C-alpha cells in the first residue's frame, strides 16, 4: 500500500483529489441500515448487545474526488479518526477495545463476519460497514483492486487479536467496556447508528 500512502500524503499536502467539508453532505446518500447480530461462539466473542451495521452504496464515488479521500474526509468530519488505506485481513480477527468503520473505496470482497460460524457478505464500492467491538471478520476473497478505508471513534484503543491468541474471558470483559460512539461515522449526530447502538 506504499502507492496509496504516497497518494494520501500528496493529497493532504496539496488538497488535490480531496473533497472540502462543504461538499461532503452531497456525497452521502440516505440509506436504510442493514443489521446483523452474531452470537458468541466460544472463540470469537462478537458483541452481545450491538449489531453489525451496513449502509449499502451510501457514498457517491463518481470520480470527481479520490474515492479513498472521500471516505477519509467523511469519517474525520464525524470524529472517526486514525484512518488507514488497505485491504481486509485474510485471517479471522476482532477488536476488543474499539469499534471500527470500513468504507469500500474500490473493488469488492466477500467477508465473513461473526467468526467461524458467522455469515459471508459481499461488500462493494460505496458501502460502509460499522463493526462493534468484538465482531470477528475475515476476508474470504477479493478483487485485485480492493481498497478499503478504516477508521475508529475517538475513544478506545486499537488491537487485533485472533481467537487463538486472545484470553477469551479478558476479551469479553474488554468488549463490554467499550462505549458506543457519540456520532455515526457516515451520517453524524443524527445518524441511525446511535439508535441502533443505544445503550
Domains of the chain and CATH, by start: 2-184 (2.60.120.10)
What residues contact residue 101 under an 8 Å CB cut-off, 6+ apart?
Answer: 75, 80, 128, 129, 130, 131, 150, 151, 152, 185, 186
Cβ burial, residue 195 (10 Å; 0-12/13-18/19+): exposed
DSSP bridge pairs for 19: none
Q: Which residue is associated with the grid cell 460499522?
A: 130
pLDDT band per the 50, 70, 90 thresholds, residue 10: low
Query: What is Dmax (Cα atoms) for the chain?
Result: 49
d(CA 42, CA 95): 16
Q: What is the pLDDT of residues 139-167, one digit of tens each?
A: 999 999 999 999 999 888 999 999 999 89
Q: Helices (H) and strands (E) in the chain — how many of each?
A: 4, 9
Encode pLDDT of 26-80 as tens digits.
999 999 999 999 999 999 999 999 999 999 999 999 999 999 999 999 999 999 9
- Global pTM reads 0.94
Amino acid at each position: 500500500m506504499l502507492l496509496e500512502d504516497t497518494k494520501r500524503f500528496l493529497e493532504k499536502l496539496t488538497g488535490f483529489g480531496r473533497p472540502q467539508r462543504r461538499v461532503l453532505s452531497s456525497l452521502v446518500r440516505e440509506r436504510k441500515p442493514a443489521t446483523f447480530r452474531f452470537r458468541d461462539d466460544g472463540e470469537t466473542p462478537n458483541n452481545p448487545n450491538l449489531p453489525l451495521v451496513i449502509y449499502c452504496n451510501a457514498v457517491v464515488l463518481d470520480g470527481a474526488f479520490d474515492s479513498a479521500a472521500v471516505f477519509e474526509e467523511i469519517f474525520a468530519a464525524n470524529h472517526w479518526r486514525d484512518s488507514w488505506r488497505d485491504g481486509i485481513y485474510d485471517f479471522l480477527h476482532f477488536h476488543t477495545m474499539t469499534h471500527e468503520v470500513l468504507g469500500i473505496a474500490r473493488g469488492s470482497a466477500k467477508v465473513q463476519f461473526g467468526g467461524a460460524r458467522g455469515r459471508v457478505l459481499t461488500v462493494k464500492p460505496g458501502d460502509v460497514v460499522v463493526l462493534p467491538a468484538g465482531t470477528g471478520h475475515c476476508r474470504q476473497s477479493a478483487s485485485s483492486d480492493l481498497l478499503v478505508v478504516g477508521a475508529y471513534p475517538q475513544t478506545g484503543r486499537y488491537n487485533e487479536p485472533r481467537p487463538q491468541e486472545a484470553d477469551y474471558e479478558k476479551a469479553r470483559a474488554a468488549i463490554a467496556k467499550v462505549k458506543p460512539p457519540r456520532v455515526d461515522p457516515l451520517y453524524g449526530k443524527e445518524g441511525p447508528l446511535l439508535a441502533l447502538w443505544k445503550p
